[in-house]
């Protein structure tokens, strides 16, 4: 469970200048040469509102709650701090069960020109190709739901600032941020897919195998050489390939998975912190508590109380 950014996205500059012309999905569009940032506001309950874009779109909740209906995907609640990537020409059907004039639902939709996406994916496929993967890096080919981690939240917040700022160089600024955002989103998706890979996939994909191996052995010390051997790679090649694909070092990934396991044990059991710490591979209780607070934003005891 990677640390989640809970600070609300700031759209104050947008609210100062935008015009309200309708009460359901009032749209304000900010454009540059390669992307369009749309901010939608809804002020009363509505159902089955349809949106379709002709480019891959990243939708991120700002305030309130939506219920999203996407083709081939079970409907889900869509809340602040969450995002979903939707392919081009795919229709989103949206319910607004709680929108009110004093508590509007606010969401952004970032549509990126396919040529910009291709530029970024081609660069990654050339410089950091995925191992044991014939399709390579892809963005916007299928629905992908995610909870924003701190870097992704900060990049989205920065784009809102740039798009709503009256700066002649905003195309230059925004394109630099867009490139990093697309890369981080693809790394998040690749990491998620490798973690959820079936045994059959793990038998032919070395990083999927290593991810499963790590999760089966979180309770003991894991060394880079051991993981590199499991991947049939040299240590330098394994370290570089893992970091490029997962967007983090092997050690950061191991600690993230250990904290994720700890959070599940805290929620589902009454076991003491010392036992949970050991079972998750931490030999030092103080370090476990420090890392848990850093990743989750609260102490293990606070987390247990909040999720009880």
- According to the model, what pLDDT value does residue 199 have? 84
- According to the model, what pLDDT value does residue 3 have? 47
174 in the same domain as 44: yes
Instruction: Give dist(CA 206, CA 210) in Å, integer.
Output: 6
Position 1 in a domain: no
214 in the same domain as 169: no
- According to the model, what pLDDT value does residue 307 have? 85
The chain-wide mean pLDDT, for the chain, equals 94
Instruction: Give dist(CA 193, CA 191) in Å, integer.
Output: 6
224 in the same domain as 174: no
The residues pairing with 174 across neighbouring beta strands, listed in sequence order, are: none
238 and 230 Cβ atoms separated by less than 8 Å? no
- According to the model, what pLDDT value does residue 6 have? 60
174 in the same domain as 148: yes
Query: Which is nearest to 35 in space by CA: 57, 19, 50?
Result: 57
245 in the same domain as 266: yes
Q: Which range of residues forms the domain containing residue 183?
A: 12-194
- According to the model, what pLDDT value does residue 200 have? 86
pLDDT per position as a tens digit, 29-40: 999 999 999 999
- According to the model, what pLDDT value does residue 197 have? 87
Neighbours of 69 (CB within 10 A): 17
Position 5 in a domain: no
174 in the same domain as 295: no
Position 2 in a domain: no
**Listed residues 168, 194, 220: the one ending a domain:** 194
Phi then psi dihedrals of residue 53, to 5 deg? -120, 150
- According to the model, what pLDDT value does residue 261 have? 96
Position 199 in a domain: no
185 in the same domain as 63: yes
Weakly modelled stretches of the chain, pLDDT under 50: 1-3
209 in the same domain as 186: no
**CATH label of the domain that carries residue 145:** 2.60.120.280
**CATH label of the domain that carries residue 260:** 1.10.10.60
- According to the model, what pLDDT value does residue 165 have? 94
The residues pairing with 93 across neighbouring beta strands, listed in sequence order, are: 50, 69
293 in the same domain as 185: no
Handedness of CA 76, 80, 82, 84 (dihedral sign): positive
Query: Which is nearest to 25 in space by CA: 10, 44, 8?
Result: 44
pLDDT per position as a tens digit, 231-290: 999 999 999 999 999 999 999 999 999 999 999 999 999 999 999 999 999 999 999 999
Instruction: Give dist(CA 263, CA 249) in Å, integer.
Output: 21
Instruction: Give dist(CA 64, CA 8) in Å, integer.
Output: 11
The residues pairing with 78 across neighbouring beta strands, listed in sequence order, are: 66
Position 25 in a domain: yes
209 in the same domain as 157: no
Position 155 in a domain: yes
- According to the model, what pLDDT value does residue 2 have? 46
Q: What is the side-by-side order of every strand in the sheet holding 66-70? A: 46-51, 92-96, 66-70, 73-78
**Listed residues 194, 216, 249: the one ending a domain:** 194
Position 137 in a domain: yes
198 and 212 Cβ atoms separated by less than 8 Å? no
How many domains does one find in the chain?
A: 2
Position 37 in a domain: yes
């Amino acid at each position: 469970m990677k640390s989640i950014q809970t600070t609300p996205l700031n759209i104050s500059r947008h609210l100062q200048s935008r015009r309200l012309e309708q009460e359901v999905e009032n749209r304000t569009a900010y454009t540059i040469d390669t992307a369009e940032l749309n901010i939608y506001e809804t002020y009363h309950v509505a159902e089955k509102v349809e949106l379709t874009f002709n480019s891959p779109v990243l939708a991120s909740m700002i305030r309130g709650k939506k219920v999203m209906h996407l083709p081939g995907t079970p409907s889900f609640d869509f809340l602040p701090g969450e995002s979903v990537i939707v392919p081009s020409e795919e229709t989103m059907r949206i319910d607004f069960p709680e929108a009110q004039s004093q508590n509007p639902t606010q969401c952004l939709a970032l549509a990126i020109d396919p040529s910009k996406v291709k530029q970024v994916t081609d660069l990654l496929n050339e410089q950091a190709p995925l191992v044991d993967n014939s399709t390579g890096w892809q963005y916007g080919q299928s629905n992908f739901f995610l909870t924003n981690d701190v870097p992704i939240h900060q990049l989205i917040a920065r784009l809102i600032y740039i798009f709503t700022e009256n700066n002649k160089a905003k195309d230059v600024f925004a394109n630099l941020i867009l490139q990093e955002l697309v890369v981080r989103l693809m790394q998040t998706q690749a990491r998620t897919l490798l973690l959820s890979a079936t045994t059959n996939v793990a038998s032919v994909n070395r990083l999927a195998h290593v991810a499963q191996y790590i999760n089966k052995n979180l309770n003991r010390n894991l060394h880079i050489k051991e993981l590199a051997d499991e991947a049939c790679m040299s240590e330098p090649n394994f370290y570089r390939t893992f970091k490029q694909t997962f967007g983090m070092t092997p050690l950061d990934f191991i600690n993230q998975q250990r904290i994720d396991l700890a959070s599940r044990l805290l929620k589902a059991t009454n076991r003491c912190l010392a036992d949970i710490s050991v079972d998750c591979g931490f030999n030092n209780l103080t370090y476990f508590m420090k890392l848990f607070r850093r990743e989750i934003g609260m102490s293990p005891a606070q987390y247990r109380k909040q999720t009880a």
